[in-house]
Structure 1
Amino acid sequence: MFSTTLCNSRLLRCAAKATASAMPLQRLAFANTIASTRLHSTGRELIRDSSYPFPLYYHLLPPSDTQTSTTSAKAHSTYALSFLPEFPKHNQQVVGFLNHSPSSDTELRIHPSKFTENEPFNTILHATIQEHLSKDPMVESMLQQQLEGWTHIADYRNPAPYGRIPLPEDIFGSVQIVDGVIQSSTYQRMPSHRIVSSNGLFQLSDYLHEKLVHRLQNI
């Protein structure tokens, strides 16, 4: 399988933020196109993002019928992002879709305005967090400081200063603690969490990421 390493620049850091409440018309059209895309490999290109803390792969998708009839193949590319090196066989294995225009973008990078979330993956993500968070060493260390109440499960891409609450886009969800014990059944997903923000792609703890990849491998 062909693999190449991206340049050393930070792919996951972006200068501009995209609002979650207003999707540009171009992005909306892109999302509609992706919704009807059948997952099958072009057999040409697999790229690994070496700047992300865990293995992350860009799988090139074949051009859509609309794109083929209106533009050249090099004018626009769509990649399926996955934590698996094998081309995704199921939609749930795709983190999201990245729109790339070689004519205007010198680098292949994850940017909020070029990324489309994949809700089936989000469902798997939060189900994994809920199932395994009570055994996450990072959460266990947090319990030493809080024995009662609700606590946030934070995204590690943009850690909040000590004692501060993370930004809403950096909170996976909240869960209740009773007598120092995580009540996994009370886990509530945070609607404002963003898979991709101006600080890059989401990041789980080492433990939860391992559990997520294992679940994706066994779909």
Structure 2
Amino acid sequence: MMLLSRIGTAASLARPPSRTFYRSLSSLPQNPHIKVFSIEENPGSSILTLLDRDPPMRDLAIGTTTAIPPTPQSFSENPRFMPILNSVLAQNAHLCSDLRAQAKAFASPLVAGGSSSSSSGWVHLSDTRNPPDFGRIAWPEDILGSVEVDGQGDPIHSFQPSGTYRIVTNEGIIGLSHFLREKLVERLKEEEAKAKA
């Protein structure tokens, strides 16, 4: 019995200890909705995501970075993220209260140059990381896209991506209104569920 006990103990000592990997989770200081997961295989790199899943799904992440906070030089965009974001914006941008307020201001006679005749036009949906001054247009890298507005200032369901938007700029990382961020997270969770199925 003692021999068996010793053999069992010796065998357990001969086995390498099982390694437990811990993934550190935090959020970005300037955008607490974005989670930061360190990449175990690549020390010094992190995955940035809007989802809480641990481990994160890289296909649904915003991208990766080698610096916190991310900079344009340290950030690598997930090529699948922008098409998902643009799809969410196409479905929901016209419902965003921030954009609707901007559209109403666009249609007001004072903003329209004092003209009483209303005409349609386009308003830009801008990132919240670097909001433009009142009456000004955001920098091209901060414009998510544009939405057509009718003569009464009502957005028409017609989002057009800008093509110049950058997820990370020198001003920070993507910032969406509460409404649009919730819609994006809902969509990412739907994509996550599809991937699990």
Normalising to structure 2: TM-score of the pair? Answer: 0.73
Question: What SS class does the counterpart of residue 98 from structure 2 fall into?
Answer: helix
Aligned to 1:158: 130
Aligned length: 158
Aligned to 2:39: 61
Aligned to 1:132: 92
Which of 1 and 2 has greater Rg? Answer: 2
Normalising to structure 1: TM-score of the pair? Answer: 0.66
Distance 1:89 1:118, change over 3 A: closer
Q: CA RMSD in A?
A: 1.9
Distance 1:182 1:161, change over 3 A: same
Q: Does 1:212 align with 2:184?
A: yes
Between the aligned partners of 1:99 and 1:196, the Cα distance in structure 2 is: 13
| Equivalent residue for 2:161, pick from 167, 184, 189 | 189
Q: How does 1:4-153 map to 2 (within 5 A)?
A: 43-49=21-27, 51-63=29-41, 76-86=43-53, 87-89=55-57, 91=59, 93-100=60-67, 108-147=68-107, 148-153=120-125
C-alpha displacement at 1:45, in angstroms? 1.9
Unpaired stretches in structure 2, ≥5 consecutive residues:
1-19, 108-119, 192-197
Distance 1:50 1:195, change over 3 A: closer
Between the aligned partners of 1:163 and 1:133, the Cα distance in structure 2 is: 20
User: 1:46 touches 1:57 (CA, 8 Å); kept in 2?
Assistant: no
Unpaired stretches in structure 1, ≥5 consecutive residues:
1-41, 65-75, 101-107
